[in-house]
A and B are shown apart, each in its own frame.
Chain A
Amino acid sequence: MTNHWIDIKNSDCILICGSNAAENHPISFKYVTEARKKGATLISVDPRFTRTSAKADIFAQIRSGTDIAFLGGMIKYILDNRLYNKAYVAAYTNAPFIVGKDFSFKKGLFSGYDKTTRKYDKKTWAFELDEKGVPKMDRSLKHPRCVFQLLKKHYSRYTPDKVSRITGIAVKDLKRIYKAYGATGAPGKAGTIMYAMGWTQHTVGTQNIRTMAIIQLLLGNMGVSGGGVNALRGESNVQGSTDHCLLWHIWPGYLKTPRASNGSLDAYNKKYTPKSNDPLSANWWRNYPKYSVSLLKSFFGEAATAANDFGYNWLPKVDDGVPYSWLDLFDAMYKGQIKGFFAWGQNPACSGSNAGKVRQALKNLDWLVNVNLFDNETGSFWKGPGMDPAQIKTEVFMLPACVSVEKEGSITNSGRWMQWRYQGPKPMGNSRPDGDIIMDLFQRIRALYQDGGAFPEPIRNLKWDYLTDGKYDPHKVAKEINGYFLKDVTVKGKAFKKGTLVPSFTYLQADGSTSSGNWLYCNSYTEKGNMAARRSKRDAVNGIGLFPKFAWCWPVNRRIIYNRASVDLKGEPWDKNHWVIRWTGSKWIGDVPDGGWPPLGSLEKPDPKSKWAFIMRKHGHAQIFGPGRAEGPFPEHYEPLECPVEKNLMNPQRVNPVAAIFEGRADTFATCDPRYPYVGTTYRVSEHWQTGLMTRTQPWLLELQPQVFVEMSEELAKLKGIKNGERVLAKSARGSLECTAIVTKRIKPLNIAGTVVHEVGFPYHYGWRWPESGKEDSANLLTPSAGDANTRIPETKAFMVNIVKI
């Protein structure tokens, strides 16, 4: 979230699309309800009418996988009807930037596409630079090659009629939604988006979010209270685990995982430190080496010296151009290339897309360590449906972990709030906190390397001094994440003693004199104490629900990021009632500003002491034109890999030309195949969580939702002769699933370009291990292992199935 949960109450229009907040983030509805009571409009766009839709002022049923068409139509509506905040767009976004002459978009492809590698050469997507190397701009937004004009041209094709034919949403409903949401472009009004996996789990997932980001920028909704682009995270601490590098391609704090070609620390830092020649661009990532060196110092301590590149070459590098995402790892495991696997706090046999392939892959392992609260379908895969235990050689170890409330530590919520939690009950039986398990594992591995071994340096030199009385100490780790001064130093005129905690990341250094396990969290645990443990209920001066001394939020306790865009050039808030920051003439008040520089003053003669608003971007402007993404600088509608239409009505490319597609025996796909005529999607329900390991085992919750089901329209049920509540079989090109039919008015057949298209949906929470009948299994047996081109997240939200009577 760029904003945070409480801030939803300040919104004038809430779009819930790609998520089902009432069911899957029930507490968020406290704030949605508060906003609605104050008159906010709630819009729900979903493949089915959900408990969220039940509370919405406007509902529209959309065909899964067509969100870019829906949102692209909104961009066109906003532009055609001049609903955008022109002053905001001209000052804070890259709409005025001039794009090079060779950029083009033809027949669904941007310039630079290579058919054989299925990749783009992004050279022609670059901005034109002036003699100083600063992007050329036309703040009047009239230059024919400025981003604003290119945007207009790109989305001119997204007419209501065409969007309706793709999405299945009636033209009148589209216009009603566009009008209601577009109205938040008026200065002082704010619209927000609440999205989740319904937008990300597509072959165009990243571009779904990009399209919404463009809308939010056009309407001036970024940085303001009640606005933002808000991802509702699916676990209490998934934001924290992402910040601390859960994913393969990043290091803590969104630093880059080094590639094989980044041969030295210097080369690595040079490669990933952006350079701007614009004195008004803060270009915050210019500080990259301070953060990377401080991270290495936190890994290796005294052993990391300038002479040995602070241990840079002790860390693994990924091969250039080779992805190591979830889908890729399980593909490699399926091919027998991975022999050992720690399944830590996860249940891939149910959560992995194309779960049948995942279960087969597990057979190829020599060993599998299952660290979890309970046994699950992953640990017991060898005795699951269709498995012959006598033929499976994988040795499985179960390490019981204790539950979150049985240990001390922090979680970081969707709103980036790091919240400290104390230990409740003591761990049950021989279960242990994850930290203890990791520390124990590490110490035993290190002992094995004391007398040699291949490449022992990283293991021997790892600092990891996190034990207190022989036990993992979460405070020591939290302090390490914040970082220490490692010498007596004077920074910015202030003297700091060796061994004291660094007050904020502005004091981190690239010379090895500081450490920080995650620069974004530097400021969270300082000499003033554990900021995340704060519990003050006093609001800030602006009274918009920031509660700045309740817990702590990254970066530097800034509750709404990009907040320099919440004010005009003079530093006056667009919204006088729900203002975020305000310039008093000498300083900013309200939220922690995105940098303390004074306001710009004017675009013609900006204050040289000021900076452009979007300080994390190289050129200081938010990107309506995003030249870094894999499939192009503007989002374009492509159909899901499996779809019910022969042709993409928007362009001749049916699917994302750079989508991640796997082509093994287990990876079959079926488009416009009469054997699989219905669109399928997956989702969650309130009553279960994730793969259901913590909820399927809980009788009170199983009572509420006892069985896996498929929701379908009354029309489809009639067509197939299916009765409400009877068991049916769902089939895709990859697998089948027995489930209970819920025949409902909440799904209607869609009119897609004159053809009737039926959509059905499945909750993904089940697995054969519980309930004890063994008959309820994972909906991921149906889903494909195809992925987004940037993140490689699987496309579990749009695929093709059939439903048959048993």
Chain B
Amino acid sequence: MSKSFFVDTTVCTACRGCQVACKQWHDLPAETTQNRGSYQNPEDLSFDTYKLVRMKEREIGGKLQWLFFPEQCRHCLEPPCRDTAGQPEAIYTDSATGAVLYTANTRGLNVKEIIEACPYNIPRASQDGTLAKCDMCVDRVKNGLQPACVKTCPTGAMNFGDREAMLAMAKKRLKEVQAKYPKASLLDPEDVRVVYLTAFDPALYHEFAVASGYASGITRQVALRKMAAPLTRWIRALG
């Protein structure tokens, strides 16, 4: 059964338990950070930071809002990064869960191309060119556990389960939230496995909250890559 997350930002308190739990489960090192005049830290995702709660102060309709967006890979149903790479030994979709997984073989990929292919600006490279991002805690999930970020969430902002159940939960919650916030919406629910609910225009939360900013030119590039993929593999096999 394929899996999905439902992330209800309307109840997220930005306690950032998810951010730390992610580092703990994946045994990722802490980054040396500075206070840049914001609670949000680190500033961005990185090879060592797969999950980041983005925090934005916005005045909306004369009322101050502090918007929290616990960002992570969306595990697209048709992931452009995978298709751009065209190398299942580097980027593949796990058939059991739907998780989009990166391996150490990402090191040989064109980093810039893969990152640009992602409509949500998620993958990050190490200095040697290996790519990393959220892996859905697929090792936990396959052993009957919830992803670390979901397990630690105190308010129910982070939810995880079978895709149908998550979509049903998301739609039900959207209706409740819309009573108070008419502009509430689910972000790209048909395309991704990490479905966010926001109370306001998603662009207010984060530049890449939805895929709408995604340039259409990439699609052509992906198509070309797909066509070229068997050839590339053949050449590599020879080499």
Contact = CB atoms under 8 A, between A and B. Distances in A.
A706 interface: yes
Contacts of B29: 699
A23 interface: yes
B35 A703 contact: no
Contacts of B33: 702-704, 706
Interface string A362-380: 0000000000000000000
Which has the most chain A C-beta neighbours within 10 Å: B14, B34, B39?
B39
Interface string A397-408: 000000000000
A632 B189 CA distance: 60
Nearest to A55: B13
B34 A49 contact: no
A745 interface: yes
Given A700-B24, A746-B64, A26 B41 contact: no
Contacts of B24: 700
A725 B38 CA distance: 8
A702 B155 contact: no
Nearest to B67: A54
A54 B154 contact: no
B165 interface: no
Interface string B132-160: 00000000000000000000001110000
A742 interface: yes
Contact of A701 (B20, B37, B65, B155): B20
B154 A700 contact: no
A33 B156 contact: yes
A22 interface: yes
B30 A743 contact: no
Contacts of B13: 22-23, 26, 29, 51-52, 54-55
B15 interface: yes
A346 interface: no
A686 B39 CA distance: 10
B129 interface: no
B190 interface: no
Which has the most chain A C-beta neighbours within 10 Å: B13, B41, B42, B59?
B13
B79 interface: no
Contacts of B11: 29, 33, 36, 55
Contact of B41 (A37, A706, A724, A743): A706
A707 interface: yes
Contact of B57 (A27, A723, A746): A746
Which has the most chain A C-beta neighbours within 10 Å: B15, B17, B30, B34?
B15
B20 A51 contact: no
A687 B16 contact: yes
A748 to B, nearest CB: 9
A743 B37 contact: yes
A26 B11 CA distance: 12
Counting contact residues on chain A (CB < 8 A from B), the size range is 35 or more
B36 A725 contact: yes
Nearest to B14: A51
Contact of B20 (A704, A706, A742): A704
Contacts of B156: 30, 33
Interface string B5-37: 000000101111101100110000111111111
Contacts of B39: 685, 705, 742
A796 interface: no
Given A29-B13, A55-B11, A741-B37, A703 B30 contact: yes
B217 to A, nearest CB: 36
Contacts of A52: 13
A365 B67 CA distance: 50
A29 B57 CA distance: 21
Contact of B35 (A26, A707, A746): A707
A588 B157 CA distance: 39
Which has the most chain B C-beta neighbours within 10 Å: A49, A685, A700?
A700
Contact of B37 (A23, A55, A725): A725
21 contacts: A26-B13, A26-B17, A29-B15, A30-B156, A51-B13, A51-B14, A51-B66, A52-B13, A687-B16, A704-B20, A705-B39, A705-B41, A706-B33, A706-B35, A706-B41, A723-B37, A724-B36, A725-B35, A725-B37, A744-B57, A746-B57
Given A687-B16, A703-B33, A724-B38, 20 more contacts: A22-B13, A33-B11, A49-B64, A49-B66, A51-B13, A52-B13, A54-B65, A54-B66, A686-B16, A700-B30, A702-B33, A703-B30, A703-B32, A704-B33, A705-B41, A706-B35, A742-B37, A742-B38, A746-B57, A746-B64
Interface of B: 11, 13-17, 19-20, 23-24, 29-39, 41-42, 57, 59, 64-68, 154-156, 176
